[in-house]
Chain A
């Protein structure tokens, strides 16, 4: 069996789904955070393989932007998690319930 583009796309869809499930089911902030990164990186995988399939470089350029944004998002997200952790020594999302809803 040869590995072609559809396999990459299926892998990317699987990774994205795992990411979504991680966000929805896990209760630890850091794990949720990692799941979101997994979703972004599965998009990167899909973009690169489509770009290769179409023989057009646009999407590969896009990947660099996505990586940059993901880095900025990681910095912002961790900062917010830390500022919350300083006040409430927990990383469990269920204990972050000051606001009702």
Chain B
């Protein structure tokens, strides 16, 4: 890559990085009351980055920087996803930023940095790039979790997230070391080639490496038994950041899993396939059963996000059958979109108030939106949650994983109990008198806040009604993968 072209290919990320730095500096130099300007610049940066990604969409897949990253439709798909999630997170936190006096420049800087990390994780085709992008994302999200410095639970959540996150990163690194020791390379393509063509029995170090890698990524996607941090961190973090953690960070983790396990380490399927099946069953069951007994809505959504990671792991397990690879991998991507819409929406409502007693009558429109999100999380037909589950379970059935699909379906039935309980609280409980009601009514009329709800609610319904057009785009990005 001797010429200047790489700037063009990297433009989505470069725009994001420069916007992030610009916003951080601008916050220092302009007057404090000019928050709208900084906010608009950050949003424009995200939109500009999305526009350049759109320009790149029709190009051919190519490797950059000696196969350190790969630009193809798969990486662009995840770039779009993380850009969209970042924008929605920024929008939904805008009223809170004004109300709570959070440091705006830093907040947006770390939000955009996290977005760079999440996007880059899908681009990475080298263990070094994978590690760096994972850390860019994680460090930014640790700080975002603790951004409310006056609130003890926010700092505590950040601390727990940081300690366990850094702990898991060390495992990931050690796994990378073992993989490197066994194969002699950090490049995905060289590793895949080595595993495919090796005539000798593979050294045991590669299996240790595989296990350690699974531990490291398992933490990020909150697979059981690496889920201990999830409820505490999700409860402690500012609610918009919780939404980003549940959707964006998880999506990035799955993009790395797809590139690393399904594509690169595909010759080791017999080894990791079984582990993924075990993870998936455990994750669904533990997530759902623990969610049943939660009384705090944020904790309940945290456990539900663990359970949803379990559903996605079903598709990952099914993708080890070569004949359903396309369908299963597409269903992972589709479910990530589906989950993003409904979760961002639900958390936006929760950021509005955590006391949902009689909320449906007090704010009818918000109540309807929450009902849509909850029905979608259960998986009721006209919503996107149903289509996501449908694709995942059908790929499991076609791949011959009957038991896995049945356990998944039983789990979604169990899950409907705690989602319906939210609906009961919305419409059948008496509303409690709270002092913050005047505050929430000013939020309810906020334009930005409502636009997020509109986007997510309409998205939940529209993609659920017309899934095939989205699915076509996803299939394209999957075929670019190989």
Is the pair B186, A99 in contact by a Cβ cutoff of 8 Å? no
Q: Which of B127, B152, B173, B184 counts the most A-chain CB atoms under 10 A from its CB?
A: B173
Is the pair B163, A32 in contact by a Cβ cutoff of 8 Å? yes
Is A25 close to B, CB under 8 A? Answer: no
Is B128 close to A, CB under 8 A? Answer: yes
The complex places the Cα of A66 from the Cα of B166 at a distance, in Å, of: 12
Is A54 close to B, CB under 8 A? Answer: yes
Given A58-B186, A61-B128, A98-B153, A66 and B146 contact (CB-CB distance below 8 Å): no
Report chain B residues within 8 Å CB of A61.
128
Is B343 close to A, CB under 8 A? Answer: no
* Stretch among B54-62, B71-79, B135-143, B391-399 lining the A interface: B135-143
Chain A, 81-101, contact with B by CB distance < 8 Å: what is the 0/1 string?
A: 101101110000100101111
Report chain B residues within 8 Å CB of A39.
167, 170, 174
Is B388 close to A, CB under 8 A? Answer: no
Report chain A residues within 8 Å CB of B132.
65, 69
* Stretch among B97-105, B230-238, B248-256 lining the A interface: B230-238
Is B267 close to A, CB under 8 A? Answer: no
Is A59 close to B, CB under 8 A? Answer: yes
Is the pair A101, B232 in contact by a Cβ cutoff of 8 Å? yes
Using a Cβ cutoff of 8 Å, how many contacts connect chains A and B? Answer: 115
Report chain B residues within 8 Å CB of A86.
149
Is the pair B139, A72 in contact by a Cβ cutoff of 8 Å? yes
Is the pair A98, B152 in contact by a Cβ cutoff of 8 Å? yes
The complex places the Cα of A23 from the Cα of B162 at a distance, in Å, of: 12
Is B156 close to A, CB under 8 A? Answer: yes
Chain B, 110-148, contact with A by CB distance < 8 Å: what is the 0/1 string?
A: 000000000000000001100110010001001100100
Chain B, 159-179, contact with A by CB distance < 8 Å: what is the 0/1 string?
A: 110110011011001101100
Given A47-B180, A99-B236, A58 and B185 contact (CB-CB distance below 8 Å): yes
Is the pair A62, B128 in contact by a Cβ cutoff of 8 Å? yes
The complex places the Cα of A29 from the Cα of B167 at a distance, in Å, of: 13
The complex places the Cα of A50 from the Cα of B150 at a distance, in Å, of: 46
By the criterion of a CB under 8 Å from any partner CB, how many residues of chain A are at the interface? Answer: 41
Which of A23, A50, A76 is the one whose CB lies under 8 Å from B142?
A76
Is the pair B166, A73 in contact by a Cβ cutoff of 8 Å? yes
Q: Which of B128, B149, B177, B186 counts the most A-chain CB atoms under 10 A from its CB?
A: B177
The complex places the Cα of A58 from the Cα of B180 at a distance, in Å, of: 9
Is the pair B174, A80 in contact by a Cβ cutoff of 8 Å? no
Identify the closest chain A residue to B151 (Cβ). A87
The complex places the Cα of A65 from the Cα of B143 at a distance, in Å, of: 21
A97 to chain B, nearest CB (A): 8
The complex places the Cα of A84 from the Cα of B236 at a distance, in Å, of: 13
Which of A19, A40, A62 is the one whose CB lies under 8 Å from B186?
A62
Interface residues of A in 32-61 (CB under 8 A from B): 32-33, 36, 39-40, 42-43, 46-47, 50, 54, 56, 58-59, 61
Is the pair A66, B173 in contact by a Cβ cutoff of 8 Å? yes
Is the pair B159, A29 in contact by a Cβ cutoff of 8 Å? yes
Is B464 close to A, CB under 8 A? Answer: no
Identify the closest chain B residue to A33 (Cβ). B163
Report chain B residues within 8 Å CB of A84.
152, 155-156, 158-159
Is B26 close to A, CB under 8 A? Answer: no
A4 to chain B, nearest CB (A): 15
Is the pair A23, B181 in contact by a Cβ cutoff of 8 Å? no
Is B157 close to A, CB under 8 A? Answer: yes
Given A32-B163, A69-B131, A59 and B235 contact (CB-CB distance below 8 Å): no
B114 to chain A, nearest CB (A): 13
Is the pair B156, A40 in contact by a Cβ cutoff of 8 Å? no
Is the pair B177, A80 in contact by a Cβ cutoff of 8 Å? no
Is B196 close to A, CB under 8 A? Answer: no
Is the pair A65, B156 in contact by a Cβ cutoff of 8 Å? no
Which of A42, A50, A62, A101 is the one whose CB lies under 8 Å from B181?
A50
Is the pair B177, A47 in contact by a Cβ cutoff of 8 Å? yes
The complex places the Cα of A85 from the Cα of B232 at a distance, in Å, of: 18
The complex places the Cα of A101 from the Cα of B161 at a distance, in Å, of: 13
Which of A43, A65, A79 is the one whose CB lies under 8 Å from B177?
A43
Identify the closest chain A residue to B127 (Cβ). A62
Top 4 A-B pairs, shortest CB-CB distance: A39-B170, A99-B232, A84-B155, A43-B173
A sample of 30 inter-chain contacts (CB < 8 A) reads A16-B174, A29-B159, A33-B163, A36-B163, A40-B173, A43-B170, A43-B174, A46-B174, A47-B177, A47-B180, A56-B184, A58-B180, A58-B186, A59-B177, A62-B127, A69-B131, A69-B135, A73-B135, A73-B139, A80-B158, A83-B155, A84-B152, A84-B159, A87-B150, A87-B152, A96-B156, A99-B160, A99-B231, A100-B232, A101-B228
Known A62-B180, A77-B162, A101-B232; further 18 A-B contacts with Cβ < 8 A? A19-B170, A29-B163, A36-B166, A43-B173, A46-B174, A47-B177, A47-B180, A50-B180, A62-B186, A69-B132, A76-B142, A77-B166, A83-B158, A86-B149, A87-B150, A96-B160, A99-B153, A101-B228
